[in-house]
Structure 1
């Protein structure tokens, strides 16, 4: 039987630095253009971070988000998903400000504190465009990505209950699923739950097929039929794990936040290229691509007319 698969596209993120790819969107105009093209290619959900337009450094500023959010909304019907993951230099309070201001249909929510190692990328020889980049990457060797139970509860209540925003629950390891079940049991999380399994980040679960099977079987046990899942495979694992997710009944996430390449040695020039590539994989499996409104219905979202931008 055919079914609809939701494609999420993560446009820029805060992991890669501008020197890693000349195609990484940095300015509000670039982020808007990439997002609109990704939606036109078939992405139902756009996962968004912001960057300082002068330096490319990750930015939590609601003002910077405000320079591209209205344009995306005016040009596409895609679901806007604002990150609360932010970047290494940001406090938890910083990370939630844009979503609190914009009251989007969706926001990401990381389900546990963890080591988050970007430092191997600093060891590769390259011409650094900005002074901050190498130090930023190297500093992750002594960095803990903070998402305590108190942090998660604050986001669930301040952003979820008060603004009607629902979440892309990012789970980098099996324990994060149990953290989520804890909040579900307390009544702070209600279905349908949208899980984003994240595999291949140094500090989280490895990008092995067996690990994806373990994540899914654990989620089946904890959440039964009251959840949808998607898979984020970091770097070269992006497309293989997307294909595996689709074959297991899941959804997919692509984008330059997660992977800068189209194939070995070839940088992706746009996010839309990756959306089109994963779409070919899905359609090759006789699967249909969900529209934004179908994603809204599947995930019980409040609608694009209920946001504050």
Structure 2
């Protein structure tokens, strides 16, 4: 069981959630304000995507990331910054003509997914460790071994800590291969992503199996989607891990009650403390994850 728990809040994500809740932040100002709210509620880490301020669609525009990060820092809020580097992996194919790409495709190479990381040098950036049938239909997330080696090498050169996003056991196997090839530095940081169709199901036995596969000394957290988000806080802590909550993964505080990021973090804090654990501060998170001290 983990006695000193890092809470990450995933603020907005890239999913089609903007029209489903008024609390999903869209503009850089809203995303930064939500980060400050989450930090005030007890999150040591905020995981950041950006969206087109006009449409709410997911974006990988570096200037939007810069504005979010600058707004957070201007407030003086002490929080660990975790920027997604998973955007640019979407491939939507025509099932009748698979070589034809459909609208929604945004597919670039490993280096092209990192300009905002190169610009801002965040504490953490994500590395999505494999390809996946992403939900029903013909939407694929593409992250090949060659792309991953290229991305991991560049992230390592930048001195940024990669958070290894793991959606299934084969991806965990490959992440360990990156470590064996010297493309990851200790301590490795894993995020076990559960309940995302069609990756690893939100099943406690599957989570335990994945935890047992982790390399020695790895730091890890896990999350599950929707109504399983809060039960997964307890699952992760009991198995020795950290936790992630937030509107990227779940829109509700209770049935029919739309949540804010701050409310989801508050609920995670209560679960953590009710299990007899304590919530880690940002400085404690930096020490545990092997990050640079706060500037």
Give the TM-score normalised by structure 1: 0.86
Q: Does 1:263 align with 2:263?
A: no
**How far off its partner does 1:3 sit?**
2.4
Q: 1:82: which partner in 2?
A: 83
Per the alignment, in what secondary structure is the counterpart of residue 108 of structure 1?
strand
The 8 Å contact of residues 103 and 159 in structure 1, kept in 2 or not, is answered as: no
Partner of 2:227: 236
1:97 Cα deviation from its structure 2 partner:
2.2
Pick the structure with more strand per residue: 2
- How much has 1:158 moved relative to structure 2? 1.5
* 1:63 corresponds to: 63
Q: Does 1:50 align with 2:45?
A: no
What does 1:67-216 align with in structure 2 at a 5 Å threshold? 67-75=67-75, 76-86=77-87, 88=90, 89-93=105-109, 94-117=112-135, 141-161=137-157, 163-216=158-211
Q: In the alignment, is the contact (CA less than 8 A) between 2:122 and 2:160 conserved in 1? A: yes
Q: Deviations over 1:193-233 (max 9, x none)?
A: 111110000010111111111111122xxx12x11110111
Q: Which residue of 1 aligns with 2:19?
A: 19
Q: CA deviation at 1:74?
A: 2.7
Bigger helix fraction:
1
Q: 1:250 aligns with which of 219, 227, 241?
A: 241
Call closer, same or farther: CA 1:178–1:36 in 2, change over 3 Å: same
Aligned residues: 277
Whether the aligned pair in 2 keeps the contact of 1:92 and 1:146 (CA below 8 Å) is no
Provide the residue aligned with 2:269 in structure 1: 279
Distance 2:122 2:53 in 1: 22
Residue 176 (structure 1) shift: 1.1
Structure 2 unaligned residues grouped into runs of 5+ = 91-104
Check whether the contact 1:115–1:144 (CA below 8 A) recurs between aligned residues. Answer: yes
RMSD: 1.5
Residue in 1 aligned with 2:292? 302
Unaligned runs of 5+ in 1: 120-140
Matched residues in 1 for 2:31 and 2:42: separation?
17
Return the alpha-carbon distance in structure 2 between the equivalents of residues 83 and 160 of structure 1.
15
Return 80-89 or 33-42, whichever deviates more: 80-89
SS of aligned partner of 2:285: helix
Contact kept, 8 Å, 1:105 with 1:304, in 2: the verdict is no
How far apart are the structure 2 equivalents of 1:289 and 1:111?
28
Q: Aligned partners of 1:304 and 1:146: how far apart in 2?
A: 34
Q: Secondary structure at the match of 2:78?
A: coil
Q: Normalising by the residue count of structure 2, what TM-score does the alignment of the two structures yield? A: 0.90
Contact 1:165 1:302 in 2 (8 A): no
The 3-state SS of whatever aligns with 2:114 is helix
Distance in 2 of aligned mates of 1:16 and 1:4: 33
CA displacement, residues 124-152 of structure 1 (integer Å, 9 cap, x when unaligned): xxxxxxxxxxxxxxxxx212101111111
The alpha-carbon distance between structure 1 residues 22 and 292, as it changes in their structure 2 partners (threshold 3 A), is same
Q: Distance in 2 between matches of 1:56 and 1:78?
A: 25
Shift of 1:91: 2.5
Q: Please state whether the residue corresponding to 1:258 is helix, strand or coil.
A: coil
Cross-structure match for 2:37: 37
